[in-house]
Amino acid sequence: MRKILLIDDDDLFAEFVTDAAELVGAAVTTIVNGQEIEQQNCHDYDDIIVDLSIPGYDGVQLLRWLKDHKCNARIVIASGCETAVINSAKQLAETYRLNLAGTLNKPFTLESFLNLLRSDQDMTMPLAKPSEEDELSDEEIVLALHEGIKNDEIEVYYQPKFDLATNKLAGFEGLARWKYKGNTIPPSIFIPLAEQFDLIDDITFSVVKQCLPQIARWSNTESLLKIAINFSARSLSQLDFPDILSRQVEENGLLPQQVIIELTESALADDQASSLEILTRLRMKGFGLSIDDFGTGYSSVQQLQNIPFTELKIDRSFVGNFLSSPQSQAIVNSTVEMAHKLGIKVVAEGIEDADTKNALTELGVDVGQGFYYAKPLSPAAMEKWFKTNSHFLSNSDVKQSDLKICLVDDDIDFIAMLNDVFKDEFQFYTFSSSMQFLDEVESIRPDIVLLDINLPIINGFDACRQVKKLNFPVSIFFISGSDSKEQRLKAYAAGGDDFIAKPIALGELLAKLRTLKRFQKEQQDLAEQEEFARDMAFKSMTEASQYGTILRLFKDSFSCRSHTQLAELFFAYMSELQLTACIQFRSPAATYSLRSPTQRCSPMEENLFEMLNDAGRLYHFKNRTMVNDDHVSFLIKNMPTENDDVYGRYNDLIAALVEGLEAKWTDLLREKSTNELVVNIDEVLDAVRGKFDSFEKDTHEIIDMLILDVRSSIHVLDLTEEQENYLLNTIENGVEKVMDLSDAGREIEQDFSKIIEQYKAMRG
């Protein structure tokens, strides 16, 4: 059974840990005083949980005690101290090379604690140490190392580096590894001894000898991968080193730009003057220069000023707690800003989760490496990694099939087998980590996910639930080595669509995928037909709506009595079509040019109307269109020329629009002319009426005077009675005829007045 040692004096917390441990099948031993550790054998425990504020030995003293006793248990620092103190304790544990699983700030959730207990131990396990009885002295290590170099026992492991902006493979860091009698000797032990006893050049050139041909094999014309190699200060003591390295690079068919020389700040501080010449020559030849573990030395800024570095690597101590430590965030932020201003790329090492990767990407870090992507791997393991992580390769030969499939499984051999079978028929993406898959799944949007249940960190059930929350359809096929009723029920409850037990019958799985592929092709065809029908219906509805709007405009125009009212309808319709326009109404008496109901056109627009009013019904220039009729023109300034369907429909609409506006404006002009004619006739009748009145008055006066004169003169004429009567009758008949003529003129005037009044009443 898994055994946990809890060092904490809080009874409630001890009860919490005990209950949580039962969920992972572990037993807990609790001590409430740090000094009680002396009565314990730390090698008896798998996990040790340390509170920093504890009586007796405090947490920091306990970490030193665990280091002194070479404790290999997984260490968890759980404390209520401020974050800066916890981060310092974490840094101390890493410096002591303890197997630190993580830190927890009290209070924390049960889920975070269980995730830490369930986390993959391989990700935190330090390099194996020889047992105490087998531990070698420095002299024995040096002798063994000398023989190991001679016998080619130094191996190179490759840790991938990634362009964070594209999430594609950018290159590798080549790391020296040495095993002696089955135990891995940490580089922190054998590298300093190699430098001390003049063996470092042999190790360095052994690494170079292995790295260059390997990178040449992995690179191609589409993707020139880079290799970063660590060099010590002693390796830079040879003045001909740039020439030797250039020759080796050329012999392997590589470019100098593909090789990055990594140097620690401390190594540069040892003998910066003697190495400056060599570093300058290396840059002149095209090699990259990287300052490693930036921020852990004491002369960083001066070195950036004096040495032509092309990149700097932020130490993992800042990256590991970047999300939780304000101090680390401030240091990383300022480092990135400074480096970019100097034209230097920034590499972050020690990325272990998607949140950290995303935060560093947003900050502008250029390149990243760490266990989130992959741990250092041997060449053979790296070859398998290529097959199982093709989505990271910039030249990935993913087939352009209609069906996208993601395989998520931590069994590298299983991934390689399925990749060989499916890659030529489907768009096949492989992931060995559920975290990487969840980070990429939304950008890939697969049709099918083949999901292993027993994945570390985030198991298949939880991964399925997260995928099902995304906004796209996807089928989940669970894969499990255990085909039990319980597993199948859990798979169904998590949202799975099918369940496949290992060992998988490839023929059966392939048949399922092909059937699903045909089904999805049929669904896609139906969806395309449905979308086409929807588009046609939408276009028809849009056209009907727009023609309906223009009909309403014509209907509303019946009540218009001026060009201003007609212009208001026009501009409202243009606004509905999202068009910018100006309009001109012409009549024999005046021209009205408007760019809005209340604003006149500019002189330039006036000139355009004058130049183009006889250019035809529709005149197009760029995205502008002049629309003309006899008395109406309008200029549209933003016709949708980029969309042929909309452009064609708008041309039909504006042609109909100008005809309607022309008809209405012509009608208004006729009405205006008729009204002016009626006014003129009315004025003439008034004049005639006045003349009739004056004539009638003058006639009556003349007749009255005539009759008086005749009557007064009859006795002078000495006429007979008969002659006298005849004369009077003749005069009276003449007067009567004159009066009849006046009455007839009055009747004519009254008839005209009646006609005019009837017309006015009809128009009113």
3-state secondary structure labels for all residues of 210-240: HHHHHHHHHCCCCCCCEEEEECCCHHHHCCC
Average pLDDT score over residue span 88-96:
86
Query: Half-sphere exposure of residue 493, counting CA atoms within 13 Å on the CB side?
Result: 8
pLDDT surpasses 80 at 728: no
Q: Write the DSSP symbol of residue 57.
A: S
pLDDT at 167: 85
Same domain, 627 and 748: no
Q: Tell me the CA distances in angstroms from 636 to 229, 595, 627, one per residue in order.
A: 65, 10, 8
CA distance 735 to 722: 20
pLDDT surpasses 90 at 62: yes
Q: Is the distance from CB of 208 to CB of 248 less than 8 angstroms?
A: yes
In a domain, 139, yes or no: no
Same domain, 189 and 300: yes
CA distance 642 to 631: 31
Same domain, 492 and 576: no
In a domain, 536, yes or no: no
- Please give the mean pLDDT across all residues of the chain: 83
pLDDT at 694: 79
The more confident residue out of 83 and 8 is: 8
Average pLDDT score over residue span 340-350:
91
Average pLDDT score over residue span 581-605:
92
Q: Which helix (H) or strand (E) holds 452?
A: strand 448-452
Instruction: Tell the residue number behind the tokens 């001390």, with chain if given.
Output: 196
> Which residues contact residue 73 at a Cβ distance below 8 angstroms, ignoring those fewer than 6 apart?
5, 42, 43, 45, 46, 47, 48, 66, 99
Pull the structure tokens for residue 381.
């393991």
| pLDDT tens, residue by residue, 664-693 | 999 999 888 888 877 777 777 777 777 777
Q: What share of the chain is helix, strand, coil (3-state, %, to 5)?
A: 55, 20, 25
> Which residues contact residue 272 at a Cβ distance below 8 angstroms, ignoring those fewer than 6 apart?
299, 303, 306, 307
Domain boundary among 347, 380, 413: 380
pLDDT surpasses 70 at 537: no
pLDDT at 251: 92
pLDDT at 541: 66
Cβ burial, residue 759 (10 Å; 0-12/13-18/19+): middle
Q: How far is CA 140 from the centre of its chain?
A: 58
Average pLDDT score over residue span 231-259:
86
Which amino acid appears at position 158 of this protein? Answer: Y
Least confident window among 57-61, 359-363, 644-648: 644-648
CA distance 433 to 389: 10
Q: Is the distance from CB of 454 to CB of 481 less than 8 angstroms?
A: yes
pLDDT at 94: 86
Residue 105 DSSP SS3: strand
Same domain, 172 and 111: no
Same domain, 110 and 221: no
Least confident window among 108-112, 190-194, 519-523, 548-552: 519-523
pLDDT surpasses 60 at 122: no
Closest-CA residue to 113 (of 219, 17, 15): 17
Same domain, 376 and 401: no
* Domain, as residue range, for 457: 397-523
List phi, psi (to 5°) of 168.
-110, 155
pLDDT at 124: 38
CA distance 728 to 710: 8
pLDDT at 665: 93
Residue 131 DSSP SS3: coil
Which amino acid appears at position 512 of this protein? Answer: K
Cite the DSSP H helix spans in 59-165.
Answer: 59-68, 83-95, 110-118, 138-150
CATH code, domain with 84: 3.40.50.2300
| pLDDT tens, residue by residue, 412-442 | 888 888 887 777 778 888 888 888 889 888 8
- ∠ CA 91-128-36, rounded to 5°: 60
Q: Tell me the CA distances in angstroms from 462 to 69, 458, 664, 742, one per residue in order.
A: 39, 6, 70, 113
CA distance 259 to 211: 10
Closest-CA residue to 659 (of 614, 627, 621): 627
For helices 187-196 and 138-150, angle between their N-to-C axes, nearest 10 degrees:
90
pLDDT surpasses 80 at 141: yes
Same domain, 607 and 736: no
pLDDT surpasses 60 at 696: yes
CATH code, domain with 552: 3.30.450.40
Pull the structure tokens for residue 563.
């060009």
Q: Is the distance from CB of 655 to CB of 716 less than 8 angstroms?
A: no
pLDDT at 733: 78
Q: Which range, 175-184, 362-371, 498-507, 526-535, is most confident?
A: 362-371
Q: Is the distance from CB of 118 to CB of 112 less than 8 angstroms?
A: no
By percentage, how much of the chain surpasses pLDDT 90?
Answer: 30
| pLDDT tens, residue by residue, 705-720 | 877 777 777 666 666 7
For helices 506-557 and 563-576, angle between their N-to-C axes, nearest 10 degrees:
180
The more confident residue out of 228 and 750 is: 228
Same domain, 460 and 564: no
Q: Is the distance from CB of 453 to CB of 459 less than 8 angstroms?
A: yes
Same domain, 681 and 562: no
Cβ burial, residue 74 (10 Å; 0-12/13-18/19+): buried
Q: In the chain, count H helices and then E strands.
A: 24, 25
Instruction: Tell the residue number behind the tokens 């014309």, with chain if given.
Output: 221
CA distance 639 to 655: 13
pLDDT surpasses 80 at 43: yes
pLDDT at 383: 86
Pull the structure tokens for residue 83.
């974050």
* Strands (DSSP E) found in 469-527: 475-480, 498-501
Average pLDDT score over residue span 628-634:
94
Domain boundary among 489, 523, 557: 523
In a domain, 530, yes or no: no
pLDDT surpasses 50 at 404: yes
pLDDT surpasses 90 at 635: yes
List phi, psi (to 5°) of 459.
-75, 170
pLDDT surpasses 80 at 358: yes
Side by side, the strands of the sheet bearing 47-50 are 26-31, 2-7, 47-50, 74-79, 100-105
Pull the structure tokens for residue 172.
């590798």
The more confident residue out of 531 and 472 is: 472
pLDDT at 10: 87
Average pLDDT score over residue span 599-608:
90
Residue 602 DSSP SS3: coil
Question: Partners of 74 in the beta sheet?
Answer: 47
pLDDT at 644: 85
| pLDDT tens, residue by residue, 155-169 | 999 999 999 988 889
CA distance 583 to 665: 12
CATH code, domain with 330: 3.20.20.450
Same domain, 270 and 214: yes
pLDDT at 36: 92
| pLDDT tens, residue by residue, 436-455 | 889 888 888 888 899 999 88
Same domain, 85 and 165: no
| pLDDT tens, residue by residue, 22-41 | 878 889 999 999 999 999 99
pLDDT at 128: 43
Strands 581-586 and 345-349: unpaired
Average pLDDT score over residue span 74-94:
87
Q: Tell me the CA distances in angstroms from 546 to 573, 642, 643, 654, 665, one per residue in order.
A: 9, 19, 17, 11, 22
- Its sign, for the CA torsion 749, 751, 754, 760, is negative
pLDDT surpasses 70 at 4: yes
> Which residues contact residue 115 at a Cβ distance below 8 angstroms, ignoring those fewer than 6 apart?
457
CA distance 411 to 431: 10
Q: How far is CA 520 from the centre of its chain?
A: 28
In a domain, 206, yes or no: yes
Which amino acid appears at position 740 of this protein? Answer: D
pLDDT surpasses 60 at 269: no
In a domain, 757, yes or no: yes
In a domain, 134, yes or no: no
Domain boundary among 627, 648, 665: 665
Same domain, 292 and 198: yes
Number of domains in the chain: 5
pLDDT at 132: 45
In a domain, 133, yes or no: no
CA distance 226 to 47: 39
Q: Is the distance from CB of 334 to CB of 363 less than 8 angstroms?
A: no
What confidence tier does 137 reach under pLDDT thresholds 50, 70, 90?
A: confident
List phi, psi (to 5°) of 33.
-140, 130
Pull the structure tokens for residue 679.
């006014």
Residue 570 DSSP SS3: helix
- ∠ CA 203-373-78, rounded to 5°: 100
Pull the structure tokens for residue 466.
């997260």
In a domain, 149, yes or no: no
pLDDT surpasses 60 at 131: no
